[in-house]
Amino acid sequence: MEYKVVKGTRDFLPLQMQKRNYIFNTIIEVYKRHGFLPIETPALENLSTLMGKYGEEGDKLLFKVLNSGDFTSLATTGNNPNGNDVLCDCVKNNDYKKMTTMICEKGLRYDLTVPFARFVVNHLNDISFPFKRYQIQPVWRADRPQKGRYREFYQCDADIIGSDSLMNEVELLEIIDEVFSSLKLNVNIKLNNRKILASIAQVIGKQDKIVDITVAIDKLDKIGMDKVLEELKEKDFSEQDVEKIKPILMIKGTNEEKLSQLKTILQGSAVGEKGLEELSYVMDKAKKAEIKNIDFDITLARGLNYYTGAILEVKANDVQMGSITGGGRYDNLTGIFGVKDLSGVGISFGEDRIYDCLEELNLFPQDISTTTTLLFVNFGEKENEMCLSLAKSLRKENVSCEIYPDCSKIKKQMKYANDKKIPFVALIGEKEIEDKQVVIKNMTTGEQTTYNIDDALSFLSDLKA
RNA sequence: GUGCCUGUAGUUCAGUUGGUUAGAAUAUCAGAUUGUGGUCCUGAGGGUCGUGAGUUCGAAUCUCACCAGGCACCCCA
């Protein structure tokens, strides 16, 4: 094909869009039911807003947009009086990062949480806290695409900012439960708390190594205990450190059992105790809210480094797919933009992955591909006038209908109705005009019924049946 | 950024140890009663065999390079 779409991006056909909208509508409905309000932010943000918020890996995955203008003037060789040879210096020093900042100042958003934090700071005076917003927009990541991974995909975020009550965490869990129940997708919610992870690092005495520890233990169910310990040793952890981490990785049992085992291990660590307290509060309330399928997962780490409290991830049970929803609490995301003491907590549904799961499990309802209910076959100018007024009356009754635009062969017009899965066709030709009749053909059964045209909508009840 | 796999009609794929003009199914379009679709029948269009080089009398087939796509790791929705 000559004109491909960009790798990792897709076109969507009508049927696919109807399926996507089914997911979006389900999520929006639940968000609204919980009192969240919609906002949007631009696709493009200044790179200064985005850079450094997602870790080093995230910076690499940002799509950067080239400035307009002519860079050759910035790259004159030799020292010129204006000092405009910075680009050449960058080339000489192999400093591509600095060079990037010289020629790119904008980038495509990587997620919706950071732009939201920026939004909150910019609109402090227009917002009343706690602020509950939802936002459904595409995000872009310069990743290498693979199954369930796209370069352009939709996130469906809900965040509550300006309240540190753990009731917010509980509400978000309820939302997750409602959305996936409604979609009939069996899921497992994995819950953890960053404070617990921090405390583990503290207990070992390697607070600065929290990222290494979490990344390693995150792989526990993938590569197994031995390899995780091996990886830790490679990362400069001593034999003693590893021995301290080992019992934590071996914790098993029900949520309550895991909690009590950790309580013993993390005893004396203020952060750890706080984390465990938060976690058990949330789990307890979630239980009272009758949310099932929540697992306390010590190995859940999540790379986004702005999380400070609860972290969660949702996986589909019956299909091989990465996490389809993620989220957590961030205590100081607006702090980076100059406004302190605003704690937020949010979740994000990955629409594209949910789509893939529903498709694989055949869980899309049959009736979502709504189409035209009735097609008027075009017999010519005179006949069309009759169709126009009939169509108008039908639309007033909220029946979607259309008149075939060209006076083509009946066969072609019938085929159009068939291809578009239009259930009814109206035929008003010379004969019918003369007899003041309209013939309605049921495309499913093939039956044709003749109605009196004066009683224009006498066939209405049949269409709706 | 690292590793593995795959490139033949719009799509899904055949194509024998290298051998004449590269096939099928499906989709598209047209016809089979000029006022009737979905089934059936007939026909048509559609391919620089990913690109380029090499080996050979001869390459879709063998070799190399490049390009594209997919999958896994990393990380994530």
CA separation, residue A326 to residues A41, A323, A355, A441 (Å): 20, 7, 16, 50
The separation, in Å, between residue A456 CA and nucleotide B74 C1' comes to 66
Q: What is the structure's pLDDT at A78?
A: 55
Nucleotide nearest to A434 (CA to C1'): B35
Q: What is the structure's pLDDT at A56?
A: 83
Nearest to A393 by CA among A442, A438, A456: A456
pLDDT band at A209 (very low <50, low <70, confident <90, very high): confident
Question: Mean pLDDT in chain A?
Answer: 89
Mean pLDDT of A103-131: 96
For the entire predicted model, the pTM comes to 0.92
Q: Which CATH architecture has domain A374-461?
A: 3-Layer(aba) Sandwich (3.40)
Structure tokens at A215: 């990344």
First and final C-alpha spacing in chain A: 44
Q: Which residue is nearest to nucleotide B72 (CA to C1')?
A: A146
As for the ipTM of the complex, it is 0.87
Nucleotides on chain B that have an atom closer than 7 A to a protein CB are 1-2, 10-11, 28, 30-31, 35-38, 68-77
Q: Which amino acid is at A177?
A: D
Nucleotide nearest to A223 (CA to C1'): B73
The answer to whether the peptide bond before residue A130 is cis (omega within 30 degrees of 0) is: yes
Mean pLDDT of A320-346: 94
| CATH of span A14-45+110-360 | 3.30.930.10
DSSP code at position A454:
S
pLDDT at A4 over 90: no
pLDDT at A96 over 80: no
How many Å apart are CA A176 and CA A350, to the nearest integer? 12
Nucleotide nearest to A410 (CA to C1'): B36
pLDDT at A333 over 80: yes
Q: Scan for tokens 């860079």, then name that residue.
A: A71
The separation, in Å, between residue A439 CA and nucleotide B55 C1' comes to 72
Mean pLDDT of A370-378: 91
Does an H or E element contain A423, and which?
none
Q: What is the structure's pLDDT at A309?
A: 94
Q: Which residue is nearest to nucleotide B10 (CA to C1')?
A: A1
pLDDT at A179 over 90: yes
How many Å apart are CA A204 and CA A339, to the nearest integer? 33
Q: Hey, is A253 helix, strand or coil?
A: coil
pLDDT band at A1 (very low <50, low <70, confident <90, very high): very low
Nucleotide nearest to A412 (CA to C1'): B37
Cβ contact A136:A348 at 8 Å: no
How many Å apart are CA A153 and CA A280, to the nearest integer? 34
The separation, in Å, between residue A106 CA and nucleotide B68 C1' comes to 29
Q: Which residue is nearest to nucleotide B34 (CA to C1')?
A: A409
**What are the extents of the domains in chain A?**
14-45+110-360, 63-108, 374-461
The separation, in Å, between residue A67 CA and nucleotide B40 C1' comes to 62
The separation, in Å, between residue A298 CA and nucleotide B30 C1' comes to 66
Q: What is the structure's pLDDT at A87?
A: 73
The separation, in Å, between residue A59 CA and nucleotide B66 C1' comes to 30
Burial (Cβ within 10 Å: 0-12, 13-18, ≥19) of residue A198: buried
Angle of CA points A326, A330, A334, to nearest 5°? 125
The separation, in Å, between residue A7 CA and nucleotide B43 C1' comes to 39
pLDDT at A25 over 60: yes
pLDDT band at A463 (very low <50, low <70, confident <90, very high): low
The proportion of chain A whose per-residue pLDDT surpasses 90, expressed as a percent, equals: 59
Nucleotide nearest to A321 (CA to C1'): B77
CA separation, residue A389 to residues A55, A87, A108, A315, A397 (Å): 62, 68, 49, 53, 13
Cβ contact A18:A369 at 8 Å: yes
The separation, in Å, between residue A439 CA and nucleotide B31 C1' comes to 28
Nucleotide nearest to A7 (CA to C1'): B69
Nucleotide nearest to A350 (CA to C1'): B77
Q: What is the structure's pLDDT at A173?
A: 98
Q: Which tens digit of pLDDT belongs to each residue from A74-95?
A: 666 555 555 556 777 777 777 7
Nucleotide nearest to A211 (CA to C1'): B75
The count of residues in chain A is: 465
A8 phi/psi in degrees, rounded to 5 = 85, 0
The separation, in Å, between residue A421 CA and nucleotide B35 C1' comes to 21
The separation, in Å, between residue A416 CA and nucleotide B45 C1' comes to 21
The separation, in Å, between residue A145 CA and nucleotide B60 C1' comes to 29
Strand A424-427, strand A374-376: pairing: parallel
How many Å apart are CA A116 and CA A45, to the nearest integer? 11
Q: Which tens digit of pLDDT belongs to each residue from A37-78?
A: 999 999 999 999 999 988 888 898 999 998 888 777 766 655
The separation, in Å, between residue A13 CA and nucleotide B27 C1' comes to 16
Nucleotide nearest to A353 (CA to C1'): B77
Residue A219: partners with Cβ closer than 8 Å, 6 or more residues away: A227, A228, A231, A299
Q: Hey, is A188 helix, strand or coil?
A: strand
